[in-house]
Amino acid sequence: MKNRKINIFAALTLGLIIAFAGCKKDDGGIRSSVVIKSVPVVSTNIDATGSQSIDLLNLATFSGKFKVSLYFPGATPPDKVDIVVRKNGSNANVKLLKKDVTTLPINLAVTAADIAALFGSAIALGDTYDFAPDLYVGVNKYEAFPALAGAVGNGAGPVAYPLFGDYARFAAICAYDPAIYQGDFVVQSDAWGDFVKGDIITLTKVSNTQFSFTHAYGVGKTPVVATVAANNSVSIPKSSVGSSWSYFTGVYAGAYVITAGAATSSFVSPCAQTLTLNLNYMVDAGTFGGGPYLLVLKKK
């Protein structure tokens, strides 16, 4: 046993000698031959006083404001920056907004017309536009959105820093307009089967984020109130449509609807002027099976 311990110690010692034989005295955590270049940390943030998204129903009112600034005040700035914009997350589709900016911070504003002119096409529903700086330090350029496959943009490193903005994104949406969601809507389809295509359901404005309607087969026709969220999803809590369903009078008491399924499966589409409700149908005794059932309406 003693000899075995001695042999193990000798083997470990020899291994350490071999390992250190390839090292130099100037080697530390990072070899002296490795050159580290300092790249300033520049943050891009949306200004809350401007538009937060591009409303396709009100393009002329869009004014996207953002600020490009040093993340660490007093740090050495880049020699200059170019402000660029990327469309729909594609690094192959990047345009120059403002060239040779030498003073930071800088506040910028863009309109829908500016964006359309840059890309040579109209803004479409679902488009996203990301604004960020290309940095120039000496002879080196550090791109916000490098086209080279696998390359990392200059803002990718510090994205977890508090209040740091890699880029300012403006998305094209159709914002909810309560003026649209009132009046007569035509049934396009009803998976539950109460309505046929062409039937009319009238919506009434309750507030800037709510509308109501009555169900043709709810005895007493109690108004049901729907609420529209900022992402255009629609929710209806368990709501009475009347004392009973007219086709179940004397069989089941109570008549209710409730949105069900994924939160985004009930929604408004203001550009198309449609409403999609994913509903479960209920009575006091419980919920009818097989649901939820899609009801799709379009403004008349």
Q: For domain 42-173, which CATH number applies: 2.60.120.10, 2.170.190.11, 3.20.20.100, 2.60.40.10?
A: 2.60.40.10
Per-10-residue mean pLDDT of the chain, 300 residues long, equals 37 41 50 59 95 95 97 94 97 98 98 98 96 96 91 77 91 95 98 97 98 97 96 96 95 96 93 97 95 96
**Is the distance from CB of 18 to CB of 10 less than 8 angstroms?**
no
pLDDT of residue 6: 35
pLDDT of residue 39: 81
Q: What's the pTM?
A: 0.73
Contacts of 253 (CB under 8 A, 6+ apart): 243, 244, 283, 284, 285
pLDDT of residue 15: 44
Determine the 3-state secondary structure of 272 from DSSP. coil
pLDDT of residue 155: 80
What residues does each domain of the chain span? 42-173, 183-299
Phi, psi (deg, nearest 5) at residue 84: -120, 165
